[in-house]
Amino acid sequence: MQKEVSSGFVEITPTAEIDAKRHGGRAKCLQRLIRLDMPVPRTIALDFGAVHGVSAGDMPDLDQMLTLFGAEPLVSVRPSSEDPDWGGPGAILNIGMNDAVHAKLCKTHGETAANALYLRFIQSYAVHVGRLDPDEFEIFSSPTADALRAALELYEEETDEYFPQDPKEQLAEILRSMARAWEGTTARLLRQAKGAPADAGLGLVVQKMVLGVGQGICGSGVIQFVNGVTGHREIRGRYLCKSQGRDALTEAEDRDVMYLTRDPRGRSIEEVLPENFADLLRYGDLCRTRLREEMEIEFTIENDELFILDAVRVARAERANVRIAVSLAKDKVISREEAVLRIPPRALTELLHSQIDPEGTRDAFSHGIAASPGAATGKIVFNARAAQAMAAQGEDCILVRRETSPEDIRGMHAAKGILTIRGGITSHAAVIARGLGLPCVVGAGDLVLDKKKGKLKAADGREFGEGDVISIDGSVGEALAGAVDMLPPELGDSFQTLMTWADSFRDIGVRANADTPPDARNARMFAAEGIGLCRTEHMFIDDDRLLAMREMIFADHAEDRRAALDRLLPMQRADFTELFEIMQGQPVCIRLFDPPLHEFLPHGREGLRELAEALDLPLRDVERRVAGLREFNPMLGMRGVRLGVTVPEIYDMQARAIFEATIDASNSGAPIVPEIMIPLVSAKREVEIVKARIDAVAAAVRIERSAEFDYRLGVMVETPRAALRAGEIAQHASFMSFGTNDLTQMTYGLSRDDAGRFMGEYVAQGVYEEDPFHMLDADGVGELLQIGADRGRGENADLTLSICGEHGGNPESIRFCRDAGFDYVSCSPFRVPVARLAAAHLAITSPRADNV
């Protein structure tokens, strides 16, 4: 077995000790190609330690290295990082070109070919080693003797040195330049952004040049056997034909044009060089079956002889990645487990939503926070009514607001996308948009909204008015001028197959947060195992319901409140019945009314006047009542269970609607066992009071309808005290669902709607590792979850545990919940596939003891 010599490099042979973790992925791939008997030119590899030494001035034995490549070596140097996605310095070709080699090539290959090879090397060396202005050298585009002479003179003028003629000196400077480029701050930050560790190493491969020029048919190209956008099998690539020193691109109309496959536009390798083409097909199949991947092969043909220079994983969109992984598994090339693991969970968002075509143009005028993935194009509207009006006319619109409130819900439903000036990842706009599957950009603080003039002003001075067309990209947080080309969602057979395999592996449940029938249908479409959070307050936004809700708020006596709520009862019953029927016997967890009452009242004077007319009350009385309901900190005020205790008629009505809907839906389908969740609990007595009233309503409905039904009562843990007192609260609950949005707010003392103003700076300075509203804080909030889970199950072993905040769809949060023994997570419908796949990854890579 060949061993690495003390000179700091090793020749890549079938038996050489090449390790991707020491020499990089490219070096290891080249060894695999050699083992498959592909015609790879002689190649040597420098490991990470050797390259690091080069950056510090410790050069390997270059005399010994160059001896391997003959008396007049011509070589290339390419980077070889552990993961190709981490990048690296660009490859440099034709090292060893000098005046003597140029003169010899002029005789053997023609002056034009020799000029082109030498000129290309001078340009690369000047830019990457000499750090000279690339624009000055790019002007030498024609490989003439004059251009070559001018390039050499320019190099001498800029450096006060002759262009190096010694191959050893050339190679030494190139190795040093590439090594130091990798060690530089910019390169380190770029690769860290792609997931590389700070101390990631770089290997280098030095390979004998195959020039691809000669007297016969010569050229170079790349070939791949799959479409990188769709994932479908097809031959793609390009071939640069070089015959007798003349270059011709395959797209050009020239007699030297050569295509890969038969083409009516001209000659092809398949026809002219059928043996070479057959070898390329065979090598592609070997890569697929033996390397277990779809590869792009870089090749050169010199005087009809084929050489394989490199092979890299085909660059692909995520939709193509899914199809490729599923295809490989179906063909038994990889296992189903590996196919599932090859798809990053968050990558599924590209398949679930429309995306901006990466090959199209982008004219961004604002950058904010990517709050809900996908992309949309539409006309600007500045309020919910305008959005509804435009949707009624069949036109697409983008709702632009400083920030959204519950009053905007109908407009959000009508819009194709949402853009807000304020807000963070868990702001009202962000949460609702994710639930609706709408693209959303929040926190676009570089925009100025002038409501009076109806103008949106960008930082670059551009102004947009109502009706102007814009696009938003919720996946990257950009707003763009005009319409853009889109790619549609991709939920075909490959996606469905992948998700079926994922479900067969995962061991934690995944439900959806769904407030409306369309939400529930999306939950079913994405195979959620029920509804983990149904926020009933969103059912009161329609005009007919909103007026009844406001009458209830303005009522002075319990009898008057009940009368107003009696009008809402049949509407709520119909809502719940439809949800139960859509979910077809799957569990539905309904959160009782949660928000403060003032959110259902108008804010502007015009809205107050309309309300006064509708209620037949003096405007002054309406203003006085609205002012009286305002709170200094409404999110910590009269909301959630506090309303249920002080205004019990609301929960009485909702409980009755749930139970009557349970009976109606069970009569026409599978038996329903509704789950009723009490929000914002902080004390055992709150649960006792509400439970007693709900039990009483259940008893009354059973008698009135002569029907039996079961239900489960639980609590939503959103306050630190509820987590700390979970043991005594669990005595009266069948389940506990942790609302991590509010729990994070209360634990940190942060408003999720305002945190976006400074959170970026906090993360940048290391105050927080990540935005705690975006990524579950496992140390702080997570400890409260663990305490609550342990104490709750300590008193009630059958207690069902879950989280239903926006964290429920994050792979990192799912890991925490799975490790903590939670039964399920619940998230927005369009994040359900992400959660299902993330859970499958965890089950495959970290199997539980009881599953082994």
Could you list the active site residues? Answer: 428, 804
Backbone angles phi, psi at 527, to 5 degrees: 60, 35
d(CA 649, CA 643): 9
Asked whether the CA dihedral 330, 334, 336, 338 is positive or negative, the reply is negative
Tell me how far CA of residue 835 lies from CA of 511, 805, 842, in angstroms.
9, 13, 11
The Cα 447–Cα 480 span in angstroms is 12
Question: What's the rounded Cα separation, in Å, for the pair 503 and 62?
Answer: 55
Backbone angles phi, psi at 289, to 5 degrees: -85, -35
Residue 300 contacts residue 269 (beta carbons within 8 Å): no
Show the tokens assigned to 133: 């202005």
Distance CA(329)–CA(331), nearest Å, equals 5
Distance CA 121, CA 98 (A): 9
Residue 714: strand pairing partners: 677, 735
Tokens of 413: 């439903």
Query: Is 684:796 a contact under the CB 8 Å cutoff?
Result: no
Q: Are strands 588-591 and 675-678 parallel, antiparallel or unpaired?
A: parallel
Enclosing H/E stretch for 762:
helix 759-764
Residue 493: which residues within 8 A CB-CB, separation 6 or more? none
Residues with Cβ < 8 Å from 620, sequence gap 6 or more?
none
In the block, tokens 């009933």 appear at: 536
Q: What is the CA radius of gyration of the chain?
A: 33
SS3 content of the chain, % helix, strand, coil (to 5): 45, 20, 35
CA distance 319 to 809: 20
Residue 65 near residue 7, CB atoms below 8 Å: yes
Distance in angstroms (rounded) separating the CA atoms of residues 373 and 364:
17
**3-class secondary-structure state, position 510:** strand
Q: Are strands 92-95 and 258-259 parallel, antiparallel or unpaired?
A: unpaired
User: Are residues 556 and 499 in contact, defined by beta-carbon separation less than 8 angstroms?
Assistant: no
Nearest to 314 by CA among 296, 297, 298, 299: 296
Closest CA to 650 of 572, 742, 727, 586: 572
Q: At what angle do helices 145-159 and 111-124 cross, to 10 degrees?
A: 20
| Contact call for residues 755 and 779 (beta carbons, < 8 A) | no
Q: Give the separation between CA 364 and CA 462, rounded to whole angstroms.
A: 11
Q: Indicate the burial class of 415 (C-beta count within 10 angstroms; 0-12, 13-18, 19 or more).
A: buried
Q: What angle do CA 317, 323, 324 make, to 5 degrees?
A: 85
Q: Name the helix (H) or strand (E) containing 678.
A: strand 675-678
What is the rounded CA–CA span in Å between residue 500 and residue 340?
10
Question: How far is residue 61 from each of residues 8, 10, 399, measured CA to CA in Å?
Answer: 7, 11, 65
| 525-to-374, 503, 582 alpha-carbon distances in Å | 18, 14, 11
Amino acid at 698: A
- Burial category of 798 from C-beta neighbours within 10 Å (exposed 0-12, middle 13-18, buried 19 and up): exposed
What is the distance between the alpha carbons of residues 77 and 60, in angstroms, rounded to a whole number?
14
